[in-house]
Amino acid sequence: MWRVTPTTELTRKVLTDRGFSGWVPFAGLGDSEVPRVAGVYVVLRPDTSAPVFRPSSPAGRFKGQDPSVAADVLAAAWVDTATVLYVGKASAGKEGRRGLRKRLDEYRRHGSGQAVGHWGGRYIWQLEDSASLLVAWCPTPPDQDPGQAEFELIAEFVAAYGVRPFANRNRGTATAGPVS
């Protein structure tokens, strides 16, 4: 989908030029036109000032697990000057009913305290300003695995910053080729 270039910082402008749209806070997802197709999404913090971390996460406890992490863990994961905080993916699912709309709704509901299975990206909920974070998405072509697109975006971020985005705890899942 995208060629990894070590000099490209993933900014709102760069991502918009690549087809990302939305740019809404999590609270606005229900009123937006999130497509019901496979794709990738990003969480962006427009403000590059130093973060303030909450002592505990307001996110839901899925299977009884506390999503909170210590402030020093969050601080160690923070990437100064980066605005992209998380890169995620959404598959269409076996019957084609999942997609970006469902996955982003799960992410939003997890952050609002519901016990929903969206453990990835949970660090963002401990940011004091998590309500002002923006979400954008980009559908992937039918012949491309969204996991591959996620992997490529994370790799591009790593090439530019030397580490993964703040809330990504893994590098995504690359595939051997296009989806059949």
For tokens 């899925």, name the residue. Answer: 62
E-assigned strand segments in 57-148 = 84-90, 134-139
CA-CA distance, 72 to 79, in Å (whole number)? 13
Summarised one tens digit per residue, pLDDT across range 93-116 is: 777 778 999 999 999 998 888 877
Highest-confidence range of 60-74, 86-100, 150-164, by mean pLDDT? 150-164
CB burial readout 156-166, b (16+ within 10 A) else e? bbbebbeebbb
Alpha-helix runs per DSSP H in the chain? 12-17, 71-77, 99-111, 146-161
* Whole-number average pLDDT of the chain: 88
pLDDT the model gives residue 62: 80
DSSP state of 127: B
The sign of the CA dihedral 101, 104, 110, 111 is negative
Vertex 15, ends 102 and 178: CA angle to 5°? 65
Question: Is the confidence at residue 146, as pLDDT, over 50?
Answer: yes
**CA 98 to centroid of chain Cα atoms:** 16
Cα distances (Å, whole numbers) of residue 58 to 32, 36, 38, 87, 110 = 24, 27, 28, 21, 9
More confidently predicted of 38 and 32: 38
- Find all residues with CB under 8 Å of 157, minimum gap 6, and list them: 10, 82, 84, 87, 164, 165, 168
Q: Which amino acid is at 87?
A: V
